Structure 1
């Protein structure tokens, strides 16, 4: 079992990241859909949707949304939000997507770069490309590898409720590795996260190989222009050639 298959299916993963700013995320998605000029009722996939917060908000904005995630527990949770224009399903992003042609696919908040094999990374781009309509958009919201390398914090403790998560970060080759240790319910736990430090060129090569063109890069959730030295994010906008 891959690290993300076990870690993402635990309640502790969601607890650790429970401080994520919903308002910032909703403002980002609102700006993003306005920037793309996606009309109401456009079909959007939220790829790696987790607990569905972005899918639900996109649906409230008037979009027809399909949320996909590898975590069965997350999708079971998400099912409570389903309606005629909001559906959820278990899916591995490396595999072809069985769905009607889409206007856009969003992969948000560093939900890419988990795979050791480069072929798996390319398969993600191919599966997205194949499900999009001509002229459709793929938004890949990723970390800025230059910023990460310069600003890594080696050790920290994050407290959530009565649990102290001890976090150790290091760079190993092309990856940033986050080691996570804590005690809960009288038991010790140990997980890790491992994400590739993809360069801009590497990401673009996967895209162009499939037939995408990159039309924009934003550097943060306010959609400011990307600057490789100071931008906290690397939000790629790709378009499937018509």
Structure 2
């Protein structure tokens, strides 16, 4: 079992990250859909949708949304939000997407770069390309490799509902590795996250091999222009070429 299969399906993963700013995320998605000029009723795939917060908000904005995620538990949770224009399915982002062609695919908040095998990374782009209509958009929201290297915090402790999550981060080769340790009822728990530090060039190569054109890079969730030295995010906008 891959690290993300075990970690993402635990309640502790969702507990650790339950402080994520919903208002910031909703403002980001609102700006993003306005920037792309996606008319209401456009079909959007939220790829690696987790607990569905972005899918639900996109649907409230008037879009027809399919949320996909590897975590069975997350999708079971998401099912409560389903309606005629919002559905959720279990899906591995490396595999072909079973869907009619869509106007846009969003992969948000660093849900890429988990795989050791480069073929798996390429397969993600291929599956997205095949799922899009001609001239469809792919938004890949990723970390900025250079920013991460310069601003790494090696040790920290996060408290959530009486649990102290001890977190250590390090860079090994092309990966950033986050070790997460805590105790539950006296029992030690250990999980980790491992994400590739993909460069701008590598991401663009994956995209162009499939037939995408990168037409924009934003550097944060306010959609400011990307600056390699200081931008915390690398939000790529690709368009499907025909």
Provide TM-score, normalisation by structure 2: 0.99
Report what 1:93 is aligned to: 93
Describe the superposition over 1:41-82 as per-residue Cα deviations: whole angstroms up to 9, x where unpaired. Answer: 000000000000000000000000000000000000000000
What is the aligned length?
242
SS in 1 for 2:26: helix
**Which digits, 9 at most, give the CA deviation of each residue in 1:154-192, with x for residues without a partner?**
000001010000000000000000000001233210000
Does residue 1:119 correspond to 2:99, yes or no?
Answer: no
CA distance in 2, matches of 1:149, 1:170: 9
Q: Name the residue aligned to 1:53.
A: 53
Deviation above 3 Å: which 4+ runs of structure 1? none
Match in the other structure for 1:2: 2
Shift in Å at residue 241 of structure 1? Answer: 1.1
* 2:83 aligned with 1:65: no
Q: Which residue of 2 aligns with 1:39?
A: 39
Task: Find the aligned partners of 1:29 and 1:116 in 2 and give their Cα distance.
Answer: 30
- Residue 11 of structure 1 is matched in structure 2 by 11
- Give runs of aligned pairs for residues 172-191 of structure 1, distance below 5 A: 172-191=172-191
- State the TM-score, normalized to the length of structure 1: 0.99
Supply the distance in 1 between the matched residues of 2:4 and 2:186 (Cα, whole angstroms): 24
Could you report, residue by residue, the CA deviation over 1:110-132 in whole angstroms, capped at 9, with x for unpaired residues? 00000000000000000000000
Q: Tell me the SS of whatever aligns to 1:98.
A: coil
- CA distance, structure 2, for counterparts of residue 125 and residue 50 of structure 1: 19
Deviation at 1:30, TM superposition (A): 0.1
Structure 2, unpaired ranges of 5+: none
Corresponding residue of 1:215: 215
Q: Could you tell me which residue of structure 2 aligns to residue 160 of structure 1? A: 160
Q: Which runs of 5+ in 1 are unaligned?
A: none
